[in-house]
Amino acid sequence: MDLQNINFNTRKWVRPEDLNANGTLFGGSLLRWIDEEATIYAILQMGNGRVVTKFMSEINFVSSAQQGDLIEMGLRATKFGRTSLTMRAEVRNMVTRRSILTIDRIVFVNLGPDGNPAPHGYTEITYDRDRLPAEHLPVAVAADA
């Protein structure tokens, strides 16, 4: 995976409640964090608070993490469809940069008010907050928008 193009935004400190019965990081915790992070990323890219996870490709648990480890999650949009956005994900140890998990394709779908897929109208990645949905803006800014 081309790590240079991935933005690592969120960091996590692996705590006792995140562990499996073997004492290493529980895959379910990791997937919950990734899904939440990917949802926020999809909202920022498609400019809509109503987005859903549609598809996840093969998940590769590359190496384990231990209690106390500092890890970071990275995402990058790889394809803008008509109603969908495809991204890739990587989780790695923040200190050693050793890869912990990779997912080649996570697909999110943009929904309209009726709950059906709706065109999002975007073709390029934004690195800014310029598509932030109005419901997330301060009241004065939203009124001017």
Ligand X SMILES: CC(C)(COP(=O)(O)OP(=O)(O)OC[C@H]1O[C@@H](n2cnc3c(N)ncnc32)[C@H](O)[C@@H]1OP(=O)(O)O)[C@@H](O)C(=O)NCCC(=O)NCCS
* Segment interacting with ligand X, rule: CB under 6 A, options 15-23, 60-68, 77-85, 131-139: 77-85
Record the tokens describing residue 111, joined without a space.
């929904």
Least separation in angstroms between residue 110's CB and ligand X is: 8
Nearest residue relative to ligand X (C-beta): 81
Give the separation between CA 144 and CA 135, rounded to whole angstroms: 13
Give the separation between CA 125 and CA 133, rounded to whole angstroms: 16
Amino acid found at 117? P
For residues 29 and 63, which CB has a smaller minimum distance to ligand X in the complex? Answer: 29
Record the tokens describing residue 101, joined without a space.
């998990």
Least separation in angstroms between residue 85's CB and ligand X is: 8
Regarding 107 and contact with ligand X (CB under 6 A), the answer is: yes
- Count of C-beta atoms within a 10 Å radius of residue 43: 19
Give the separation between CA 143 and CA 145, rounded to whole angstroms: 6
Regarding 84 and contact with ligand X (CB under 6 A), the answer is: yes
Looking at 55, 70, 97, 112, which residue binds ligand X (CB under 6 A)?
55
Looking at 18, 42, 69, 83, which residue binds ligand X (CB under 6 A)?
83
Give the separation between CA 99 and CA 121, rounded to whole angstroms: 33
Regarding 81 and contact with ligand X (CB under 6 A), the answer is: yes
Least separation in angstroms between residue 26's CB and ligand X is: 20
